[in-house]
Amino acid sequence: MYERLVKIKRTRFFYFETFVGLLGLILFNVFLFPEHPAFVDITPHPYWIIVIGIAARYGRGGALLASILAALTFLVYLFITQGLDYFYDNVWILRFPFLFFLIGFLIGEIKTTFILREDFLTARVEELENLNNNLMTENKIIKEAHKDLSVDVATSQETITTLNDIIEKLNSRDPNVVYTGLLECFQKYLHAEECSYYTNTDQDLKLYQSMGWKDYYKRPESYRIGKGLIGLAAKKAQVYSLKDILFKKKTADQLETDVLGDTVLAIPLIGMDNKVYGVASIEKIPLIKLTDSTIQTARIICGLAASSLNTAHAFQDIKDLQITGDIEGLYKYHYLSARLEEEYKRSKLYMLPLSLVGFNWPKLMTLPDDKKQAIIASLVSLINYQLREFDILANSPNDKTPFTLLLSCTSGPQAESIKTKIIDKIKEYKLDQVLTNQIFEDSVIVVPYNPNTMEGPHDMLSALGF
């Protein structure tokens, strides 16, 4: 669907359509309605067909062309048929060229906004399609790797059930489940006595989770990237083990770091575009178990974990693109921020009113999850009942203010009136008692746009405490 829209948008025929349309109207005027020169006394004026149609279809460029040509056609036609004196006697007739340009410009600007948004969404869809293709390719590679995986998973004769169990532990869209499953696989199938996982923050490696460590000795909370085998695994995106030193596969000089007390085996989790999500580390394992087969198995386990993380991050990226949340009628905050930016620019340019409303209900966020979700759903339904179709009720980044309401083309007094209706409705259902301990009317804050004191949308958000 979007490919067809993009094709129509980018096929710019407004030159041809404008000339043909105006020529058709002129011929229609000359041969059928000669007694109405330039349709001056016909309402609505037929030239609006060209001005509004081209502006609504092609945006700013088409609007300017159609408006200017319509205005010139109108003036030239009257000049040829009526003479110059006609304009002196009917100065008010010049309102038509002015209105052609003004209305065409406004409609063109609005259409251009939608065209730009369409371009952005089209590019994003193509990006997600490419991501999906990469994930499918990677999935095929992993399936091929599964075929070659030895049944001997931890240097012992295991059945295919072991592989299925590993995949099941790592198959999740929740990164926390993947990390926990990874360390459990190390303990169960590689006989690791002590293991841990460090996440990559780009500045350093932070300890995320560890298993098998005693209370009297904890793992280091962080590692500098490049320090020790764990740091090198993140820096070089390669597997490093104590065998590399013991059997002279890599000398200490080649490792370029102090490896004492670091780890026995460090394996990076490498995602798409060679991004290192983190490093899985085995700190204690019987040396007789530290074989090439064990290292290869650990590498495969980490590869499966990285694949699950790729899927989890891709799923989260797609979910973040959604503008609505789990509760019907409640938008996400990033959508409200984008709409506020647009409405603020429109208000500033055309001197239109604009208001924000914040609901300062910190008590709501302290309720048990099940009760909180039920009350939030009820509040969203009650608030939306008082709103217009184009008003935006969204989540808030502030725990004290669970909702934010964007009221476009709404002045301060009008917003106060909407606030009163919302408060009365909530009180009618006696929900105010579970929302705040302060005076309920004071818990709903109205912030109107003030062009004299506000320099951007952030000023309005700051007034709500964001």
Q: Which residues pair with 227 in a beta bridge?
A: none
Q: Which domain holds residue 373?
A: 333-463
**How many other β-carbons are positioned within 10 Å of the β-carbon of residue 10?**
9
Of 278, 295, 318, the last residue of a domain is: 318
Q: Is residue 435 part of a domain?
A: yes
- Together in a domain, 235 and 113: no
Q: What is the DSSP letter of 199?
A: E
Output the pLDDT for position 5: 45
**How many other β-carbons are positioned within 10 Å of the β-carbon of residue 246?**
10
Give the total residue count for the chain: 466
Q: What are phi and psi of 193, to 5 degrees?
A: -85, -35
Both tokens of 421, joined, read 């209706």
Q: Is residue 150 part of a domain?
A: no
**How many other β-carbons are positioned within 10 Å of the β-carbon of residue 458?**
14
Q: Report the amino acid identity of residue 246.
A: L
H or E stretch covering 189: helix 175-189
Q: How many whole angstroms separate alpha carbon 162 and alpha carbon 151?
A: 8
Q: How many whole angstroms separate alpha carbon 280 and alpha carbon 244?
A: 17
- Together in a domain, 13 and 102: yes
- Together in a domain, 75 and 119: yes
- Together in a domain, 222 and 277: yes
Q: Is residue 412 part of a domain?
A: yes
Output the pLDDT for position 151: 41
Of 265, 284, 318, the last residue of a domain is: 318
Alpha helices in 395-440 (DSSP H): 412-428
- Together in a domain, 166 and 300: yes
**CA quadruple 437, 440, 442, 444: dihedral positive or negative?**
positive
Output the pLDDT for position 354: 93
Q: How many whole angstroms separate alpha carbon 168 and alpha carbon 178?
A: 10
Residues of the chain with pLDDT under 50: 1-2, 4-11, 150-157, 159, 253
Output the pLDDT for position 61: 73
Output the pLDDT for position 211: 86
CATH label of the domain that carries residue 230 = 3.30.450.40
Both tokens of 198, joined, read 């460090």
- Together in a domain, 164 and 286: yes
- Together in a domain, 265 and 341: no
Q: How many whole angstroms separate alpha carbon 412 and alpha carbon 417?
A: 9
Q: Is residue 84 part of a domain?
A: yes
Q: How many whole angstroms separate alpha carbon 418 and alpha carbon 413?
A: 9
Both tokens of 170, joined, read 């790592």
Both tokens of 455, joined, read 């320099």
Return the half-sphere exposure (C-beta side, CA atoms, 13 A cut-off) of residue 65: 21
Inter-CA distances, 330 with 54, 292, 333, 362, 363, Å: 35, 54, 9, 18, 19
Q: How many whole angstroms separate alpha carbon 287 and alpha carbon 145?
A: 27
Output the pLDDT for position 156: 44
Q: Is residue 350 part of a domain?
A: yes
Nearest by Cα to 182 from 289, 282, 302: 302
Output the pLDDT for position 353: 94
- Together in a domain, 164 and 62: no
3-state DSSP assignment of residue 436 = coil
For 88-115, the pLDDT digits (tens) are 777 777 787 878 878 877 887 888 888 8
Of 318, 352, 373, the last residue of a domain is: 318
Q: How many independent structural domains does the chain possess?
A: 3
Q: What is the DSSP letter of 101?
A: H
Q: Is residue 305 part of a domain?
A: yes
Both tokens of 274, joined, read 């060679």
Burial (0-12, 13-18, 19+ Cβ within 10 Å), 85: exposed
Both tokens of 167, joined, read 């995949």
Q: Is residue 185 part of a domain?
A: yes
**pTM summary value:** 0.43
3-state DSSP assignment of residue 223 = strand
- Find out whether the peptide bond into 353 is cis, omega within 30 degrees of 0: no
Output the pLDDT for position 323: 52
Burial (0-12, 13-18, 19+ Cβ within 10 Å), 162: buried
Q: How many whole angstroms separate alpha carbon 306 and alpha carbon 272?
A: 9
H or E stretch covering 381: helix 369-385
Q: What are phi and psi of 353, to 5 degrees?
A: -75, 155
Q: What is the DSSP string of 85-97?
A: HHHHH-GGGGHHH
Nearest by Cα to 21 from 1, 41, 50: 50
- Together in a domain, 388 and 440: yes
Q: Is residue 147 part of a domain?
A: no
Q: How many whole angstroms separate alpha carbon 386 and alpha carbon 371?
A: 23
Q: What is the DSSP string of 335-348?
A: HHHHHHHHHHHHHH
- Together in a domain, 397 and 455: yes
Q: How many whole angstroms separate alpha carbon 331 and alpha carbon 333?
A: 7
Q: Which residues contact 16 (CB under 8 A, 6 or more apart)?
A: none
CATH label of the domain that carries residue 393 = 3.30.70.270
- Together in a domain, 234 and 286: yes
- Together in a domain, 118 and 161: no
